[in-house]
Chain A
């Protein structure tokens, strides 16, 4: 079963630093997403990406965030100047395939200190 791969699995960063979270989606997926889950809370949509551009974003996805697919395979989420409240699990997901569903990566746990 193809997988969505996320790296790193854990990242600790100092407040104000930039972080880049990486994802390798499944090759035949067309839509890509970032979601986040603050500890103990529900999963929240951040952004969707299709045809090399953002197709939709939530109110959470402000100017601190950016996404790109620099080499046609990796899909990255950048947070420019991290805040304490950015501490969360970040999930990459792709859509495509027979289950109509979204295949999620195993997540990156980001801790901002």
Chain B
């Protein structure tokens, strides 16, 4: 079964606009962590933001914020004031902490293209 679902098709975003990338997850664990990574065309995986399941506040890191809705099992990434350098694939991932499991389960990714 899919642990992480990212279903949006590729997105075109106007420079300086905000964009929201959807991510829903499936877990029966009470303790888990949610991550977003950026993968530009060069291929590296760049950590953006983390949200713990017990964190009461939504995580923010600069222009990135995570809209965490625990009851709906969603962890959407919001990028504010898009820049051309934000063009990339974005992956949502989850770590389930049950039994000390440390592996990350990734979604299929969202392609974002920022246009001037």
| Interfacial residues, chain A to chain B (CB-CB below 8 A) | 31, 33, 35, 41-45, 48, 55-56, 58, 89, 91, 93, 95, 99-107, 109
Contact = CB atoms under 8 A, between A and B. Distances in A.
7 contacts: A31-B102, A33-B104, A43-B106, A91-B45, A93-B45, A104-B37, A106-B42
Given A100-B52, A102-B35, A45 B43 contact: no
Interface in B81-96: 91, 93
A104 B106 contact: no
Interface residues of B, number: 22
A107 B45 contact: yes
A42 B102 contact: no
Contact of B108 (A42, A55, A102, A104): A42
Given A44-B106, A89-B43, 15 more contacts: A33-B103, A33-B104, A42-B108, A43-B91, A43-B104, A45-B103, A48-B103, A55-B102, A56-B103, A101-B35, A102-B47, A104-B44, A104-B46, A105-B44, A107-B44
